[in-house]
Amino acid sequence: MKNMKIFSIVLVIVTLFLLSACGNNENVSSSDNKDKNNDTDKKLKIGLTVPTLGNPFFVAMSKGAKEVASKYDAEVITVSADHDLAKQTAQIEDFITKKVDLILLSPFDSAGIAGAVAQAKSAGIPVVALDGFAEGGIDTVVMSDNVQAGRLAAEYLVKQLDGKGNIVIIDGPPVSAVTDRIKGFNEVISKYPDIKVVAKQNGEGNREKALTVMESILTANKEINAVFTINDEEATGVQIAQEQASRQDEFFVVSVDGAPAAVDALKKGGSFAGTSAQFPNQMVIDGVALALKIIDGEKVESEVLIPTEFITQENVDSYKGW
């Protein structure tokens, strides 16, 4: 009888122990599930830095960022470097501090930004460059086929000039997108010895500087047949200088971008003849898709090129624009 009582007590203790263990396991399991849910529910955070939001091209990029935010239910932080390398460096450092999941970088200075890129990579954050290469260890770059853009503009120019004439090149900032456009342009015109480059100056990618340098070029050159600018903002500056000098009928302008102002100018007619159109919003969309693949451990191409289209006064009505 005594042994039966002892057995009953032991049985109760064992039962209580087992119930307690199950309860703890349920708590642990519940805690694990909660952690997993928290991981799943974590909002994607993206940092986008562009050279300036004073240029419609980069405004179109910011619109692409809004599309991305909607598509992925993400938080997108978009900032402007205002053509300041130190500022863009600080912006990337701020992204690191804010622990963004990925960084989209449209570099103001491809070489100068290398240190900031390296910091982001050390922090384990994927960096995707947009509209031009950046040094420091980027994961990939999404940009227009800028060599093709330069070629298309040059081919149109050469055809309109019938292979001979005096031309001006308005260059831009020291980024690969610009150097590639100049490269593609030069590849074509180098085949035409009767086309003379009478001036080449840096318009710094904006209309104010392009206006200033074009005024000097017009003063120094009495005959110009065509001008190539590396973007539509510079083209606008060139046109203003041309109008102020009353030389609208002397030469035409070709460019790169396909910006809203260029579309208006092409529809209006006049000296703005054509532009190699880019698709900046698509760069952002494709850049995020690639970064997410990188985060998932997938391999991606080191360079993704988006073809450009040459838009003229004749076909502008079929161009969708930004």
> Domain 45-143+280-305 sits in which CATH superfamily?
Response regulator (3.40.50.2300)
Q: In this model, does residue 31 exceed pLDDT 90?
A: no
> What percent of the chain stands above pLDDT 70?
87
Long-range CB contact pairs, 262-269, < 8 A, 24+: 262/232, 262/235, 262/311, 263/311, 263/316, 263/319, 263/321, 265/235, 265/236, 265/239, 266/311, 266/312, 266/313, 266/316, 267/313, 267/316, 267/317, 269/313
Taking each helix axis as running N to C, give the angle between helix 114-122 and helix 85-97, from 0 to 180 degrees, rounded to the nearest 10: 10
What is the mean pLDDT of the segment spanning 242-262?
97
What are residue 115's DSSP bridge partners? none
- The whole-angstrom separation of Cα 78 and Cα 61 is 9
* Of 288, 280, 260, residue with least CA distance to 272: 260
Quick check: 248 and 271 in contact, CB under 8 A? Answer: yes
What is the mean pLDDT of the segment spanning 132-159?
97
Reported confidence tier of residue 321, pLDDT bands at 50, 70, 90: very high
pLDDT at 55: 87
CA distances in angstroms from 121 to 45, 74, 98, 200, 217, listed in the order given: 16, 21, 15, 38, 44
pLDDT (tens digit per residue) in 179-233? 999 999 999 999 999 999 999 999 999 999 999 999 999 999 999 999 999 999 9
What 3-state class would DSSP assign to 177?
helix
Q: In this model, does residue 33 exceed pLDDT 90?
A: no
What 3-state class would DSSP assign to 15?
helix
What is the mean pLDDT of the segment spanning 271-286?
97
> Domain 146-278+313-318 sits in which CATH superfamily?
Response regulator (3.40.50.2300)
pLDDT at 176: 85
pLDDT at 41: 63
Other CB atoms within 10 Å distance of the CB of residue 19: 10
Q: In this model, does residue 174 exceed pLDDT 90?
A: no
Quick check: 151 and 187 in contact, CB under 8 A? Answer: yes
Quick check: 70 and 46 in contact, CB under 8 A? Answer: no
What does residue 174 show for φ and ψ, rounded to 5 degrees?
-80, 65
The answer to whether domain 45-143+280-305 and domain 146-278+313-318 are alike in fold is: yes
Summary mean pLDDT of the chain: 90
Name the region of 290 (left: φ>0; alpha: ψ -120 to 50; beta: rest): alpha
- The whole-angstrom separation of Cα 30 and Cα 35 is 9
- Residue type for position 145: D
pTM more than 0.85: no
Domain ranges, ordered by start, for the chain: 45-143+280-305, 146-278+313-318
